Amino acid sequence: MRFKRATLLLFLCSLLSGYVCATKVFQNLFINRGILTTVKSTTFPVLAFNSSTTFVSANTVVSCLKNDTLIITVTNNDTASHGFKVKNYPGISYTINPAANITCTVLPTQRSTFIYYDHLAYPRNTYMGLAGIIAVKDKPTDIVYYWNIKEHSSPYNQQLGYNVNWNTYYPDYFTINGKSYSQLQLDPTVKITNNIYDTIYIYVANTGHSMHSLHFHGFHPKSIFTDCKKIQNNWAKDTWGMFSMDVMILKLVPDKKGKYSVHDHNLVAVTGGNTHPNGMFTIMQIN
């Protein structure tokens, strides 16, 4: 009898798509200040949302399943006040003083992606690095990659984004998850390494200040979620233009083996410190 009851419970959970049996997912974020070391041994100050008080240049990817209860606690580990907001999710907008923290709840109901960011003095703090991805998956077995694309003007970073003229903004370093080529080839959250006919989901956020245009060689992935101004769901193509603070999820089912590059179609973004190909460039390996 107990076995039958347990089986019935699992069956009901399955029918309800995890709504009743959804779990609580807890994520701690810390606002940290540190130094980004990029290609050509160039360094400049940045800010990031990290999962601990230890600074790393890549913002933490906050991940959960649809119908989970996502509980995020953000602690300000910096000496200045900062903000926390989730784009296109109402009711989450906070100011966090130094050493203080806030807790908020996100209740996603579908596969989706959001940008969480520091909205104070926008776009200064976001430009300095305080913007990350919330990735809502459909199933725990999903094959996923996370691309947080951003560009930097190293002189602006040296000023910590204060009193800069955005009309003369000209970036000279370009990153995905805080890295540039060839660093990207060592990042398993960026470099696609899969088998032919695998179903791959790529969560993309443009948290930079400029427009970027991702170009895929060999394949035409399909957009299955987006808030981009110039992209619609179910489009399938090889080049995807994204304005600042746009997000999208691409579905890729590779139909042939080989190595294929992905890069920003604005070729200056494939450079770093005016050297090619030290920017937004990675090579997919399809086996």
- The predicted pLDDT at position 160 comes to 78
For the cut 60, the answer to whether the pLDDT of residue 89 exceeds it is yes
User: In a 3-state reduction of DSSP, which class is residue 61?
Assistant: coil
Buried b (16+ CB within 10 A) or exposed e, 111-146: bbbbbbbbbbbebbbbbbbbbbbbbbbbeeeeeebb
Give the total number of structural domains in the chain: 1
Taking only the tens place, the pLDDT of each residue in 190-219 is 999 999 999 999 999 999 999 999 999 999
pTM of the model: 0.92
- Assign 254 to helix, strand or coil: coil
* CA distance between the termini of the chain: 48
The answer to whether the beta carbons of residues 238 and 252 sit under 8 Å apart is: no
Domain coverage including residue 151: 5-286
Would you state the pLDDT for residue 21?
A: 55
Which DSSP category does 30 fall into? E
pLDDT of residue 7: 47
DSSP codes, 98-116: TT-EEEEEE---SSEEEEE
Joined together, the tokens standing for residue 258 give 């080989």
The CATH number for 183's domain is: 2.60.40.420
Q: What is the pLDDT of residues 6-55, one digit of tens each?
A: 444 444 444 444 444 569 999 999 999 999 999 999 999 999 999 999 99
CA distance 84 to 215: 31
Task: Give the pLDDT confidence score for residue 16 in this predicted structure.
Answer: 47
Give the three-state DSSP class for 84: strand
Q: What is the pLDDT of residue 162?
A: 79
